[in-house]
Amino acid sequence: MSSPLPSSPAASVLDLAPVVPVVVVDDLADAVPLARALVAGGLPAIEVTLRTPVALDAIRAIAAEVPGAVVGAGTVLTAQQVTEVVAAGARFLVSPGWTDTLLKAMRGSGVPFLPGVSTTSEVVALLERGVREMKFFPAEAAGGTAYLKALAAPLPQARFCPTGGITPASAPKYLALPNVGCVGGSWMLPKDAIAGRDWGRVEALAREAAALSAGGTSR
């Protein structure tokens, strides 16, 4: 996804920004101001994970009240969740893993999606099914940049959004790889800033993340 922000099913989730914030919303009241801070800092793609009871309502609120946001749903595990989050306004889907049932539901959703992989066989299986863009999770635990670099030669058609354990220091190393379109992370959302509703700090950290590239500078 790139500017102008895409809305077509063919658009790529990997091209919106170098970093996709992975957001866990515990208090629904935080959803809109948090999203506004991220967008103001230059991170329009916001992955709201389905890990809390208010996640669906958070997606709905961000979609309705933050025009600059491209809100997506993360930790999507079932076909029912696919239906629910798209109805709530999610514009992309991310899963930590995949099955054929889940893949069929995501394909039928009409929005871009990133099924999760952590092994070469999973990547090959998705390529066999016509899927070329994937989430690599858990990135650091599954082999990090060394693993993705090793995949680039035999499987150059696969592109990834690595997520899991990535930091501002390691993000540029991932972004330098030819098969990485963006990274996912939550370092721009420190718990103390969220608890204190320090949206100015979130915006500042988002701005720093948005400037990251393979060289660590704005790209």
Phi, psi dihedrals of residue 34, rounded to the nearest 5°: -65, -45
Q: What is the distance between the alpha carbons of residues 208 and 14, in angstroms, rounded to a whole number? A: 19
Query: Rounded CA gap, 65 and 214, in Å?
Result: 33
* Side-chain-side CA neighbours of residue 8 (13 Å): 4
Tell me how far apart the alpha carbons of residues 183 and 47 are, in angstroms, rounded to a whole number. Answer: 12
CA distance linking residue 140 with residue 219, whole number of Å: 24
DSSP state of 117: E
Q: Percentage helix, strand, coil, to 5, in the chain?
A: 40, 15, 45
Cis peptide before 162 (omega within 30 of 0): no
Q: CA distances (Å), 4 to each of 7, 15, 46, 69, 89, in order?
A: 9, 11, 16, 12, 19
By annotation, the residues acting in catalysis are 47, 135
